[in-house]
Structure 1
């Protein structure tokens, strides 16, 4: 089975490879596509839309059996204080689309405030924590959890959840 990942980001590609590691006969390829949403998606709906758009565009980019899109965003949660990092993935075979989420992690106010003002999370994380290209490494997820989890493993869980209908017999076809 040929699977396309709608991103050139090595962390997102590795997350898809991790999620499919135990499935035999899989070839994962990267297809750099536009998400159709802002660089910093805001809210669940926009983050999910970005993942779905990436998945569709990745599938349409060639002779693939499955397209996968991964998107990170930020969201306020109803009746809960703070701004949260959220992660969503989508998978499609052209007929069905499935979605899955990764961890939701509250951002410290030192990061949340500049993001609320319109800045992207990645550069804010680097500025506040003194890192460089955190999104290409452990990401905000790793840095904010003391490396208990990292960006790749967080995204791999979202991808695995989205892939469920395509790799198990437990869903209606």
Structure 2
């Protein structure tokens, strides 16, 4: 049985990692443990680079905290300005045996009201809660779920990126 450390207590991120492993390694059993570790970046990363660094830092920090696991996962949501708009996305970093698997989710653009609150210093999840009159949406469907009517919820959104981050570990001979 493989031991998987997820560098988050967020139930959405935990479930996405579980889903990814079940799909990529359906005949194996895994133990999943969630830990809270720092990203060492801003609470709301404001660029692709900062978001990637946050995910990688989470995987690294989890591996420093718990030494005997097979995989360590960091997932970090971020935003970035593009022209006059703001896109949202997340990075997923898997770490095992000193190697990394990396993937970024698809991107989507945020509504103007949400963007304005972010520019005023709010995190995306808090801005979503205000604009859409929700509570703790980042641990549920998130902005992607709210804006798609849950056609793509936050768990599904992250699961695809988890699967892609596992490619080097499923195809060891190629990486």
TM superposition score category, shorter chain reference: over 0.9
1:43 corresponding residue in structure 2: 47
**2:67 is equivalent to residue 67 of structure 1:** no
Aligned length: 170
Deviation at 1:159, TM superposition (A): 1.3
2:165 corresponding residue in structure 1: 162
**2:120 is equivalent to residue 117 of structure 1:** yes
2:111 corresponding residue in structure 1: 108
User: Under a length normalisation based on structure 1, what TM-score does the superposition of the two structures give?
Assistant: 0.92
What's the secondary structure of 1:17's corresponding residue? helix
User: Under a length normalisation based on structure 2, what TM-score does the superposition of the two structures give?
Assistant: 0.91
- Find the aligned partners of 1:2 and 1:60 in 2 and give their Cα distance: 15
Deviation at 1:94, TM superposition (A): 4.2
- Find the aligned partners of 1:167 and 1:161 in 2 and give their Cα distance: 10
- Find the aligned partners of 2:117 and 2:36 in 1 and give their Cα distance: 28
What's the secondary structure of 1:35's corresponding residue? coil
Instruction: Name whichever structure is richer in helix by fraction.
Output: 2
Deviation at 1:146, TM superposition (A): 1.7
Tell me which stretches of 4 or more aligned residues in structure 1 moved more than 6 Å. Answer: none
**2:90 is equivalent to residue 87 of structure 1:** yes
Deviation at 1:28, TM superposition (A): 1.6
Between 37-46 and 22-31, report the one with greater CA deviation. Answer: 22-31
Deviation at 1:117, TM superposition (A): 2.8
RMSD: 1.4
- Find the aligned partners of 2:139 and 2:130 in 1 and give their Cα distance: 15
